[in-house]
Amino acid sequence: MEFLALVLALAAIVLVLGGTLRTGVPPMPTSSGVRACMFDLAKDVAPATVFELGAGWGGLATALARRWPEAKVVAVEVSPLPWAVCRLRQALFGPANLEVRFADALKTDLRAADLCVCFLCPPAMAKLAPYLRDALAPGTYVLSNAFALPGWVPLREARVADIHRTAVYLYRRDAA
Ligand SMILES: C[S@@+](CC[C@H](N)C(=O)[O-])C[C@H]1O[C@@H](n2cnc3c(N)ncnc32)[C@H](O)[C@@H]1O
């Protein structure tokens, strides 16, 4: 029994490390304080479709689906264990307006998105910035925890009153 627990724990560590090495982004969740600041920054956004690009364990995805209960929220995650946990918690606890997909955000069709949400890291944001410029329809909002989108000018930004003074950014894909 102890041996089985050890094997399972090691398998979980290998899966999380493998996913992190592949994407360069660990599955670290957005804190509740940052989440509140992000929602405040986007308070006048009323999306019909939200994509979360890199949903991790699903905490922020669930909060997004509860924040906008009329919207369809699509949580995209490419790391197997966080994706499985996110998928399982949605199956067990909902909400029904949350769909969880095992997919690479940089290969996802985002034309239906009104709002994209992300918490990645600077190298991943550098890849995401040009991808979003091509993939998003004009007028689509992008809400980012901590890291700016290189080459994009934020519509609004705020600092969370936490020890890191975490920045959050709201962008809008322009019509150009
Ligand atoms: C820092 S975590 C954030 C999790 C969640 N969004 C939150 O804020 O609580 C970033 C997640 O993005 C995932 N990720 C990174 N690059 C990705 C990509 N190209 N496609 C899908 N998921 C990606 C990672 O596997 C990781 O789970």
59 CA closest ligand 1 atom index:
9
Question: Would you list the domain boundaries of the chain?
Answer: 2-172
- 136: closest CA among 169, 108, 110? 110
Query: How much is the pLDDT for 18?
Result: 83
Torsion of CA 57, 84, 10, 119, to 10 degrees: -30
Any atom of ligand 1 within 6 Å of the Cβ of 144: no
Nearest CA to ligand 1 atom 22: 54
> Are the C-beta atoms of residues 168 and 137 closer than 8 Å to each other?
no
Q: Which helix (H) or strand (E) holds 134?
A: helix 122-135
Spacing, Cα 122 to ligand 1 middle (Å): 13
Is residue 175's pLDDT more than 80?
A: no
167-172 and 156-159 beta bridge pairing: antiparallel
Which pTM was predicted?
0.95
141-145 and 167-172 beta bridge pairing: antiparallel
Under CATH, domain 2-172 is a member of which superfamily?
Vaccinia Virus protein VP39 (3.40.50.150)
Dump pLDDT digits (tens) for 54-87.
Answer: 999 999 999 999 999 999 999 999 999 999 999 9
Task: Name the residue of 32, 53, 168 whose CB sits within 8 Å of the most ligand 1 atoms, as the mutation to test its pocket.
Answer: 53
Across the chain, how many H-helices and E-strands are there? 5, 7
What is the average per-residue pLDDT within 44-51? 98
Contacts of 30 (CB under 8 A, 6+ apart): 38, 59, 60, 119, 145
> Are the C-beta atoms of residues 168 and 38 closer than 8 Å to each other?
yes
Dump pLDDT digits (tens) for 82-101.
Answer: 999 999 999 999 999 999 99
